[in-house]
Each structure stands twice: as structure tokens, then as C-alpha cells.
Amino acid sequence: MKWVTFLAALCVPCGALAEIPAAPPVTSNEYLLDDMAGARSVGMGDAFRAVGTSNDAIAENPAALSQSSHYEIDGFFGYSFSSPATYWNASIVDANTTPISVGIAYTHLASGMFQDRFSGSDLRLALGYALIPDTLYIGISGQWLDFRYALTANAITGDAAIIYKPVQIVSIAAIGYNLVDVDQETLAPRKLALAAAVGSDTTFRVAADGVMNIATPSPVIDFHLGGEYLIASLIAVRAGYLYDGMIKQNFGTLGVGVIVTGFAFDVGYRQSVVPWNDSALIFDVKLFLPT
């Protein structure tokens, strides 16, 4: 169905689309998360677009990559129980070597069963730059999608983003997703997002996002609200809420992270409120290299 959505963390644009021979349509129970970008963002209700200080930003907001100097290597596994669907991801960010921050991420998604099965890969390259250090950041990203079976695509597209920080603990962001139309509303819908966040990585965050899907005949809006609190510079506790306008569904989210020198482990969980039949779990391992 048209409103069936694709991923995670991974939504970056697509360009030329090549369909593969006939396959049965994806049914309503094939609904998948379109924001499985990492355990941190999932735990915060995906209210992450104005935060973006981890590898989740490759998919959520490429402009955020340059907010801090760091090297980070991530790997995550996600599972959506209702589809069912599995996500495997590996990513790396270098925001230290050159003035332009670089992020690369690969995600493999497999979903559905029997004739409704679909699977494929998502490869992204994100670039971020501090136009005015500590104040204004810009970013772009490119995405290649290669999917088979019930959903098909072989396309390239891209995102563009900006973050403005009027003061150090306040961030305001705007992002355009899938700016190259690939005529594939399920895997890569064109979207516009506005987001704001207050706080820092060493204390707390409160964040809110609004994301408008403009690929549908009538624009559909998703809302995200979330936060995290760091305890003793060791444990991050996260919670959030999101409303998916495409399926008119409310979700609650929870997350926790353990951070030590050079290493972090995050878990994120997402659960639909009514009906109680759509949930997802994600585990994320992170390595921070010396800068």
C-alpha cells in the first residue's frame, strides 16, 4: 500500500529508479519504521534532527556532523516485530581530519515473508561543514538504494540540511529529504523537516521535530518529541513520543546508553500505543577514536 514506509535510519534521497519484474503488492502488515537511524535517535522518539551529535546524523541531518570534532565507528542491529523486518548497519564519521566532516553508512534491510518479502541495501555518504563555527552548519548527503522483490528500486538521491545555533545550548534545524524524486513514495518519499533542541551531550537534551511528507496527494506530518539525561557522565536515559501521520499511529519510546572512554552501548525501543501491535528494538555499539 502507498503509505507503507521504509526505514531507518536511514532516509537519504534517490535519483533514477529501475523497477524489477512483477511482484505481489506489499500489504498493510508490511509497515516498517522509516527512522531506524540508530538506538540513540530511536530512544528519543526520533526527535534527533537538531541534535545529531552521533552517527545517526548521517541519515537524520548531515549538517550536524560538524558540530563537534570526533571519530566514531558504529554498528547496529534492529528488529521490527510487526513486519517482521531486520536491519543491519555499519557507519563511520570523521569530523576531525579536515574542515569538511565525512560520514559513510551502509544498511541492509530484509522484511516480510513469502510473496510479500522485500530486501535491499542503502548506502549513504554525508558531508557537513561549519560555515560559521559554533553558529551555522550546512550539510548534504547522497544515497543509493537497491531493493528487490515486492518493493523495487535502483536509484540515487540526496538530502540537504542546515543547523543554526543562536546560543551554544540551542539548535534549530531544517532538512530536505530525497530531494531528487525517484517516484518511490514507500522507500524514498520527499520530505521537509523543522527541528529544535535544547541542551548538550554532557548534561541533558530536550528536542522536538516536525516532518512533512510532500510525496502524498495531501501532505502528511509526523511529530517527534524526546529527551535524554546523562547520569554521572556514564549512563544516558532516554524517552520520547512520536506520531506517524501516514498511519495515524502514536508511539512511545525508551532508551538507555552506557558511555565509557572510547566506547558506548545503546539500546532503543519503540512501541505503538493503540493498538499494541507494532514495536521495534535496536542495539547499537559505538567506538570513539582519539582525536
Q: From first to last of the 291 residues of the chain, give the pLDDT tens digit.
A: 333 333 333 333 333 333 333 333 443 334 455 678 999 999 999 999 999 999 999 999 999 999 989 999 999 999 988 778 899 999 999 999 999 999 999 999 988 766 667 889 999 999 999 999 999 999 999 999 998 887 788 999 999 999 999 999 999 999 999 999 887 777 888 999 999 999 999 999 999 999 999 988 888 999 999 999 999 999 999 999 999 988 889 999 999 999 999 999 999 999 999 877 789 999 999 999 987
Distance of CA 87 to the CA centre of its chain: 12
C-alpha cell at 112: 516480510
Burial of 168 (0-12, 13-18, 19+ CB in 10 A): exposed
| pLDDT for res 225 | 98
| pLDDT for res 114 | 63
Q: Please report the DSSP string for 222-270 in residue order.
A: EEEEEEEEEETTTEEEEEEEEEETTTTEEEEEEEEEEEETTEEEEEEEE
pTM of the model: 0.86
Question: What CATH number belongs to 28-289?
Answer: 2.40.160.40
Residue located via cell numbers 535491499: 120
From CA 126, how far away is CA 134, in angstroms rounded?
A: 20
In degrees to the nearest 10, what's the CA dihedral of 14, 62, 226, 29? 20
| pLDDT for res 275 | 76
The domains of the chain are located at 28-289
